Amino acid sequence: MQIHTTAYLDKREVSDALVIAYYKGQLVRPDLGHLETICQAPIHAGDFTGGLGELACVWGAEVEEKRIFLLGLGPEESCSPEKLRIAYGAVAKACFKYKCKSLNILLPELEYAPKAVVEGLLSAGYIFDLYKSEKEEPLEDITLIGKDALKAADRALRVMTSVNRARDLINGNADTVTPQFLAQYAKELSQEFPRITTEIKDKAWIQHENMGLLLAVAQGAKYDPQCIICSYKGRPVSDEHTVLVGKGITYDTGGLKLKSIEGMLSMRSDMSGAAVCLAVIEACAALSMPVNVTCVLPTCENAIGKDAYKLGDVYKSRAGITVEITNTDAEGRLILADALSYAVDAYNPTQLIDVGTLTGSMEIALGNSYMGLFSNSDFLAEALTSSGLHTHERLWRMPLCEEYREQLKSDVADCKNAATPKAGSIICALFLEQFVQNVPWAHIDMAPVAFAKDARGYLPKNGTAVGVRLLVDYLEKQQREQHDN
């Protein structure tokens, strides 16, 4: 994707379409000249009113482009970055219909417009057709017409490139996107971005580190587990160090507590947390952000078979806590527990954030528009929530109920890995909290939003990589606050 900018409408190059935005009943920009007359026909006919995401196509002999898209942004008073993402997401979908490869976009004169427009276009314009014989033709060239748009547009392009690469990982075949594939992908990131360093820890290292929970989950799998560590030091003089831990279950059968067929259909996406973390560190490097971030990604399959780990058995974690397995389909918390323990001891982080598709009960509680947030730090929780609102990748803080810890008690071990179905997401978070010591920590359960059954707004069907923009925004705000102080 190429993005260009020009300050003036009459300086644009010819493209497949020109996009002109309208508020409901009102032209967004008054500087159209003779184009305003050409655009009147569908408005006078009542075919176009300017409602959010509404689109009309106009052809005219006096227009250099093949067509003009009239785009509705809804009422002016309710316009927002999210409304622009939705509206320009509709433009991206129209480009597939009309086979447009290039666009000229007359930007609304809003400070946030360049970033939001690019996010909506690139998100809704995402294509995953790797396994299709007939390929879609993607949008290749965008020119934004407006002053001072290049910096914000370029930033959005870099972040959305990382988002869409994460979607590719999530959508890929589970027999392709194995722990070893993710490890190789991480190595390639360090080749592409010199400030990223990657270490791949193999099964022998995992055994040496006594990561008994990760080994237990992986023991029935065809592929050996890997622990992937990517570090980006954008501010070496600072002691601030954020560690992200991403769940990397490359396929989840549920183990001996076997999932249903329907439940397994999307389980190639159970490594979404790891994919999001890789995309965040890639975006940090692409933007040369002055932050220090390390990703610790435990990756393996949760397979079914004669070697699969057993219900009722007890396994010892890296932290020395023994765990009775009461649910083999509660495996994500097990591999995260060993990774969190290692992250605390190895990196002494100033803050620790884990991300993953942890519990179906989170989706029952929140639907498909929010992720669950658990934290031992009010400051961290509030800052992440704020970034979630800003990016519309929203978080809802859930409680860490002390009285529920009783449900994790075991007769034969230090704790269980799961309890009753009630408050399942909270029980999961309480289990993980045992492994973070006193480090400021946040747990993001992205199960409700990681994999979409249908396209919604500017989000595509299947892998969404929701969480990348949120975490990049959070890290950017953090570094600005540190600079101001």
Which residues carry out catalysis? 259, 333
Angle of helix 272-286 versus helix 179-192 axis, rounded to 10: 0
Contacts of 443 (CB under 8 A, 6+ apart): 353, 354, 358, 373, 374, 375, 429, 432, 433
Cα distance between residue 1 and residue 12, in whole Å: 18
Residue closest to 2 by CA, chosen among 191, 153, 192: 153
Look up residue 333 and give its two tokens: 């918390």
Determine how many CB atoms are found less than 10 A away from the CB of residue 411.
6
Give how far the C-alpha of residue 140 lies from the chain's centroid of Cα atoms, to the nearest Å: 23
Look up residue 44 and give its two tokens: 């006078």
Q: What is the helix (H) or strand (E) element at residue 250, kind and residue range? A: strand 248-252
Look up residue 343 and give its two tokens: 């992250």
Look up residue 112 and give its two tokens: 């946030």
Cα distance between residue 58 and residue 151, in whole Å: 31
Cα distances from 398 to residues 127, 260, 438, in angstroms, run: 34, 28, 19
Pair 271, 248: CB distance under 8 Å: yes
Amino acid at 257: K
Cα distance between residue 418 and residue 425, in whole Å: 10
Look up residue 478 and give its two tokens: 């953090």
Amino acid at 62: E
Contacts of 474 (CB under 8 A, 6+ apart): 383, 384, 387
Cα distance between residue 323 and residue 409, in whole Å: 10
What are the b/e assignments for 31-44, b being 16+ CB within 10 Å? ebeebeebbeeebe
119 secondary structure, DSSP code: H
Q: How many angstroms separate the first and last alpha carbons of the chain?
A: 37
At 58, phi and psi to the nearest 5? -125, 135
What are the b/e assignments for 69-89, b being 16+ CB within 10 Å? bbbbbbeeeebebbbbbbbbb
